A and B are shown apart, each in its own frame.
Chain A
Amino acid sequence: MGIVSPGFQGRPRTQEPALPPGQYLTEDFPVLSAGPTPRVSLDTWEFVISAENGSDHRWSWQELMALPQETPTVDIHCVTRWSKFGTTWQGVSLDTLLADVDTGAHFALAHSYGGYTTNLPLDDLRGGQAWVVHSFDGAPLPAEHGGPARLLVPHLYFWKSAKWVRGLRLKTMDEPGFWETAGYHDYGDPWREQRYQGD
């Protein structure tokens, strides 16, 4: 327990069992990004998985939409301390996208239209834990929330769910992404409160 702040009561404790440490619940959907929102045309949109052996697997928008679709409902946790429960998305599981990719890599660097990057262990993108999503609450994903498509990796802080995602580079060595280079944690588990380097 920290130093008690005299007179501080805080909100009534609602006993939210699913709230990670240091988070509070919001009904809104705040936006966090480091720069202007990129506008990406569906005609030229593509998603590319580049394996460490140099081979590329590519999907156009039409090809992505033709893959088996899933509708995950998940809780999301932003490092700026808001959490949102029960968000519903639609998209394609990374298990589906990685199925035909021959790789021995242990890491992935997700990269986005606009230049954003974030790194994740490849295992965290497998096993029904991650998606490329294009819809939120039944409607096309708005650009400020990462549309046309973003990564969704809800078991990690939300900066790992790269907006405007364009592809994954699979890597044998871990390479820090944008926020990870700027002092944020390499892995970002909200349940262990891994916000910043050293947590």
Chain B
Amino acid sequence: MERRVETPTAQTLVLEVPDWPGHLPGQHVDLRLTAPDGYQAARSYSIAGPAVDGPGGPRVEVTVQRVHDGEVSPYLIDVYGVGDPVEVRGPLGGWFIWRPEETAPVQLVAGGSGIVPLMAMIRARRAVGSKAPFRLIYSVRTPTDVIYADELRRRVRDDFGLDIAYVYTREAPEGWRGEPHRIGLADVNTHGWPPDLEPLTYVCGPTAFVETVADLLVGLGHPSRRVKTERFGPTG
């Protein structure tokens, strides 16, 4: 296991999973922890990118956002160490997925740690050399909350056909046009694809964020069946 600090509250764990069967971008794993008395707790985490080969077999990345008062995420961030075993089940989920052979334009709308499964799609797009045009709208509280910030800067420069727009809800960086605000019609209409292009849309984030964005998309004329959502509840 390796770990990368992404933000003050989010870390990426790289797990070695010897018999990993492969997965599609957007899928998740269940991680299960066991205490010395046999008590168990399991949570779902989105896979952050394609599996990569390592000396001990395939490596699968998940990004864990610390949940205040959580039972599992603080352990994974503060205590869990390199070499510690964890039970991994997956890949799971067959709906919130992007198939790399798809050629339709894709719009991704992320709220907070909802970026994780969408980043898996962005990384897979590059890995397979897909030319499907991608647009990402990423809503965060402040600039320091941007997960994968450096990589996103690099990809928007190097990955042809990938556009990224940020929405800041609390504090915006120098030079950002406008005031901090919650995502609204103008953001989705300006930075997303028009319905005429029949894009595939993936929305992931907290429940209220996903409800808002999905309603806006339907209001703009995107058919519900082309809008896939994943809501993060208060899990820990």
Beta-carbon contact of B71 and A81 below 8 Å: no
* Distance (whole angstroms) from the CB of A12 to the closest CB of chain B: 10
Given A7-B79, A36-B217: A22 in contact with B225 (beta carbons within 8 A): no
Task: Give Cα A82 to B41, complex, Å.
Answer: 11
12 A-B pairs in the complex with CB atoms less than 8 angstroms apart:
A1-B38, A1-B40, A2-B87, A6-B81, A7-B84, A22-B40, A24-B71, A36-B215, A36-B217, A37-B215, A182-B94, A183-B93
CB contacts (< 8 Å) of A13 on chain B: these are 39
Task: Give Cα A81 to B33, complex, Å.
Answer: 14
Q: Decide if the interface of chain B is mainly helix, strand, loop or mixed.
A: mixed
Beta-carbon contact of B235 and A80 below 8 Å: yes
Task: Give Cα A154 to B148, complex, Å.
Answer: 40
Task: Give Cα A10 to B32, complex, Å.
Answer: 11
* Distance (whole angstroms) from the CB of B21 to the closest CB of chain A: 13
Q: Of the candidates B34, B84, B229, which one forms a contact with A35 in the assembled complex, judged by CB atoms under 8 Å apart? A: B229
Q: Check B173 for interface membership: any CB of A closer than 8 A.
A: no
Beta-carbon contact of B224 and A35 below 8 Å: yes
Q: Check A61 for interface membership: any CB of B closer than 8 A.
A: no
Beta-carbon contact of A8 and B35 below 8 Å: yes
The closest CB in chain B to the CB of A115 belongs to: B225
Task: Give Cα A36 to B221, complex, Å.
Answer: 12
Beta-carbon contact of B233 and A8 below 8 Å: no
Interface hub of B41, B96, B225 (most chain A Cβ within 10 A):
B41
As a 0/1 sequence over residues 100 to 123 of chain A, the CB contacts with chain B under 8 angstroms (1 = contact) are 000000000000001100000000
Task: Give Cα A196 to B231, complex, Å.
Answer: 19
CB contacts (< 8 Å) of B207 on chain A: these are 30-31, 144
Q: Check B44 for interface membership: any CB of A closer than 8 A.
A: yes
Q: Check A173 for interface membership: any CB of B closer than 8 A.
A: no
CB contacts (< 8 Å) of A33 on chain B: these are 229, 231
Q: How large is the interface on B (under 10, 10 to 19, 20 to 34, 35 or more residues)?
A: 35 or more
Q: Of the candidates B36, B211, B218, B225, which one forms a contact with A4 in the assembled complex, judged by CB atoms under 8 Å apart? A: B36
CB contacts (< 8 Å) of A196 on chain B: these are 92
Q: Check B121 for interface membership: any CB of A closer than 8 A.
A: no
Within 8 A of A (CB), among B88-110: 92-96
Given A22-B42, A31-B231: A8 in contact with B75 (beta carbons within 8 A): yes
Beta-carbon contact of A36 and B95 below 8 Å: no
Within 8 A of A (CB), among B24-76: 32-36, 38-44, 71, 75
Beyond A1-B34, A115-B225, 18 additional pairs, beta carbon < 8 A:
A2-B32, A3-B34, A4-B35, A4-B36, A5-B34, A6-B81, A7-B75, A7-B81, A8-B41, A8-B79, A10-B39, A11-B71, A24-B41, A34-B229, A37-B211, A38-B224, A144-B207, A183-B94
Q: Check A62 for interface membership: any CB of B closer than 8 A.
A: no
Q: Check A9 for interface membership: any CB of B closer than 8 A.
A: yes
Interface hub of B79, B211, B233 (most chain A Cβ within 10 A):
B233
The closest CB in chain B to the CB of A9 belongs to: B35
Beta-carbon contact of A81 and B218 below 8 Å: no
As a 0/1 sequence over residues 201 to 236 of chain B, the CB contacts with chain A under 8 angstroms (1 = contact) are 000000100010011011000001101110101111
* Distance (whole angstroms) from the CB of B1 to the closest CB of chain A: 12
